[in-house]
Amino acid sequence: MIAHLIKVTALPSKKTELVEFLRWDADVATSDEPGTLRFDVHEVPDEIDALYVYEAYASDEAFAAHREGAPFKKSVEHILPDVIAKMGFLSESASSVAANVRSV
């Protein structure tokens, strides 16, 4: 399993659009990407425009399949240039050494 933790900061007044996009991205990952094990989006109260995205994939091939999907293409064409002010990996391609995943 490989995972990424990403901090994404929306442009002013664009956080709602970013959240809607990430919810759609998570839905597509659930329905169309069996190798996407986790796609979680969190917000922190004192970081108004920031979101944290945790994504985990069964393999490098699963991550490559995610990059071929419609959400990734939309992120490159519209979300990155028009909605996101700043994006940075807090960890990239991390390997899992322990996990506990439960449905909520």
Tell the burial category of 79 from Cβ atoms under 10 Å away from its Cβ (0-12, 13-18, 19+): buried
41-90 residue pLDDT tens:
999 999 999 999 999 999 999 999 999 999 999 999 999 999 999 999 99
pTM: 0.88
The whole-number pLDDT of residue 1 equals 84
Question: Going from the N-terminus, what domains does the chain have, and what CATH number goes with each?
Answer: 2-95 (3.30.70.100)
List b or e across 27-44, with b for residues whose CB sees 16 or more CB atoms inside 10 angstroms: ebbeeebebbbebebeee
The whole-number pLDDT of residue 81 equals 97
